[in-house]
């Protein structure tokens, strides 16, 4: 049995000229059938003439030109028009004369240049054809010529509408692709900020502290070891994130969750920040993106604590509920900013966008008694 899907696939793989050639050949065969003689388009109402050698030329011009109706629509329109004029002047009225509206639709849809000039030239040629047919004894009334001209204009307009529709769809897809790329660049920028800023901040703070431990070799070695471990973690996290950019990546690769907060807090402690960490409840299996966002909130808040309140008491509280995850990170403001790298403010803005995207609430600001506090309420159950 013939596999129709395979046949259709092979057909689509053929070039557009080959596919249109088949259409033109079918038109030519139909035009040569005796039963279809005189079944073509008639303008001028001249008495039908005998089918002679010139009739074959008219058929060839109008049918074979359809092979290039999409590749070279202007050439197709010129050849079909010549064949149509020959057909009407000689009054063959072959079936191939029905190719004229097809050529007009194709030209209206696929011509890229000189469209207005083409319309003017065709209109003038049609007027000349009408005058010639009238001199040859045509009995067509003026309204008949006008009606046929409007039919031809409708064919051109149909092609122009198809062209504008196709262009609008291409523009919509382009805008959608640009929006997708912009969203992806924003997402990658956020991930880079979260991963790089946290680790590098910790390394800078640790290295700054190591400068004052030259008199205590044991403590200096431990501090430098911590810097090394932090750098390795940064490299590992960056590799995980680069894996996410691969087309065949596993969606779970390198995506931290709230369950890894303990390691994050411990890393911050090793950087010299006193952190009190409290977890209330346990994360639901359906927490989805909420866990990831909660992790990022804590990570950014601890990064800012290292930058702007180094050495101050920092409290991290994470509450897991059935429908949401609550996060609060606060500092008492008694620390120092010495040696910490400055920030751009992108981190908190990115967190706000993340939380708002899940329908949650986010706030960050100074406390009345000094220090800084970050709070987030993140609805659970959003798919990752």
The full set of domain ranges for the chain reads 4-140, 176-379
* pLDDT for position 100: 92
Of 94-108, 152-166, 190-204, minimum mean pLDDT range:
190-204
* pLDDT for position 85: 93
pTM given for the model: 0.56
Q: Model confidence over 306-336: pLDDT tens digits?
A: 878 878 889 999 998 888 899 999 988 665 5
* pLDDT for position 291: 85
Are 312 and 371 contacting, i.e. CB atoms less than 8 angstroms apart? yes
Confidence of residue 251 (pLDDT cuts 50, 70, 90): very low
Segment 283-293 shows an average pLDDT of 72
Are 227 and 210 contacting, i.e. CB atoms less than 8 angstroms apart? yes
* pLDDT for position 338: 46
Confidence of residue 253 (pLDDT cuts 50, 70, 90): very low
Q: Which CATH number fits domain 176-379: 3.30.565.10, 3.60.21.10, 1.20.140.10, 1.10.3720.10?
A: 3.30.565.10
Confidence of residue 339 (pLDDT cuts 50, 70, 90): very low
Indicate if the pLDDT at residue 262 is higher than 60.
yes
Whole-number average pLDDT of the chain: 81
Indicate if the pLDDT at residue 233 is higher than 90.
no
Percent of the chain at pLDDT > 90 equals 24
* Other Cβ atoms within 10 Å of 222 Cβ, number: 14
């Amino acid at each position: 049995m013939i596999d129709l899907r395979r046949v259709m696939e092979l057909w689509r793989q053929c070039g557009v000229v080959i596919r249109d050639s088949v259409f033109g050949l079918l038109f030519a065969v139909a035009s040569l059938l005796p039963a279809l003689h005189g079944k073509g388009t008639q303008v001028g109402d001249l008495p039908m003439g005998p089918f002679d050698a010139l009739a074959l030329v008219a058929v060839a011009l109008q049918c074979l030109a359809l092979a290039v109706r999409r590749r070279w629509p202007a050439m197709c329109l010129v050849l079909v028009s010549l064949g149509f004029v020959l057909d009407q002047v000689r009054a063959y009225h072959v079936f191939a004369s029905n190719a004229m509206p097809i050529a007009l639709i194709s030209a209206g849809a696929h011509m890229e240049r000189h469209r207005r000039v083409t319309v003017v030239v065709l209109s003038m040629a049609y007027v000349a054809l009408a005058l010639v047919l009238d001199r040859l004894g045509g009995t067509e009334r003026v309204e008949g010529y006008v009606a046929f001209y409007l039919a031809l204009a409708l064919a051109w307009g149909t092609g122009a509408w198809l062209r504008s529709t196709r262009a609008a769809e291409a523009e919509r897809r382009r805008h959608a692709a640009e929006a997708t790329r912009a969203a992806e660049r924003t997402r990658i920028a956020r991930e880079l900020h979260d991963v790089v800023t946290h680790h590098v901040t910790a390394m800078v703070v640790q290295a700054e502290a190591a400068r004052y431990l030259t008199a205590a070799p044991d403590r200096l070695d431990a501090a430098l070891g911590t810097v090394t471990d932090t750098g390795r973690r940064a490299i590992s996290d960056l590799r995980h994130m680069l894996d996410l950019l691969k087309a065949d990546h596993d969606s779970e690769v390198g995506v931290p969750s709230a369950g890894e907060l303990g390691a994050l807090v411990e890393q911050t402690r090793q950087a010299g920040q006193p952190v009190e960490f409290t977890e209330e409840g346990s994360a639901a299996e359906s927490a989805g993106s909420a866990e990831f966002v909660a992790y990022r909130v804590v990570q950014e808040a601890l990064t800012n604590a290292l930058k702007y309140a180094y050495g101050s008491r920092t409290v991290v509280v994470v509450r897991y509920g059935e429908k949401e995850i609550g996060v609060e990170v606060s500092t008492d403001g008694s620390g120092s900013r010495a040696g910490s790298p400055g920030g751009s403010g992108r981190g908190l803005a990115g967190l706000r966008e993340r939380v708002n995207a899940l329908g949650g609430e986010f706030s960050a600001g100074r406390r009345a008694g000094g220090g800084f506090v970050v709070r987030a309420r993140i609805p659970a159950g959003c798919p990752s």
